[in-house]
Amino acid sequence: MTERLQKIKVLAMDVDGTLTDGHIYISSQGECMKAFQAKDGYGIVMLRKAGLIPVIITGRQSQIVEFRAGELGIQHIYQNAGDKLDALQDVMEQLNVSCEEIAYIGDDLNDLPIMKKVGMVFAPADCHEDIKPYVDILLTKEGGKGAVRECTDLILQAQKAMSFEKKR
């Protein structure tokens, strides 16, 4: 498992149910709100500082996601991705990476096509039951409650171990 984590160059993330708890708050005026966990954000920043590339691939369109991604320095955002595999293919071409170099964290059935392709799959503790057979690491934290941070910590620990091994 550590060797597969050490190959990761890109972390692709779903939003609703992964970076958020899946709740979507809509006011009578149509304003939408989502809650993001600050710890997840810090994990993403640390991932970037270590030279890995965070990517968002989501089936919904939201200015909130664009704003949060901007705060975290996420440059690759795919919203309204009806077919998430198309977005994954674009990521691979733009960043010149292979499937094995991409980790993905998602929580529901619409994430399955990507989960079947990438090198490492993570899911929040409260993910849909039907995706669990495709998950390499089922996290202990729920979506929007530190799952992404747990994921980034595991990737960074493996990368750090690899760096330490190279120095010896």
Digit-coded pLDDT (tens) for 35-80: 999 999 999 999 999 999 999 999 999 899 999 999 999 999 999 9
Q: Are 18 and 58 in contact (CB under 8 A)?
A: no
d(CA 76, CA 28): 31
Residue with structure tokens 């503790």?
Answer: 125
pTM score > 0.85 for this model? yes
Q: Which residue has the tokens 């091994």?
A: 165
- Whole-number pLDDT of residue 32: 84
Q: Let me know: does 37 contact 145? Beta carbons within 8 Å.
A: yes
Whether 79 contacts 60, CB under 8 Å: yes
pLDDT tens digits, residue range 105-162? 999 999 999 999 999 999 999 999 999 999 999 999 999 999 999 999 999 999 887 6
Residues 24-44, mean pLDDT to the nearest whole number: 91
Based on its alpha-carbon atoms, the radius of gyration of the chain, rounded to whole angstroms, reads 15
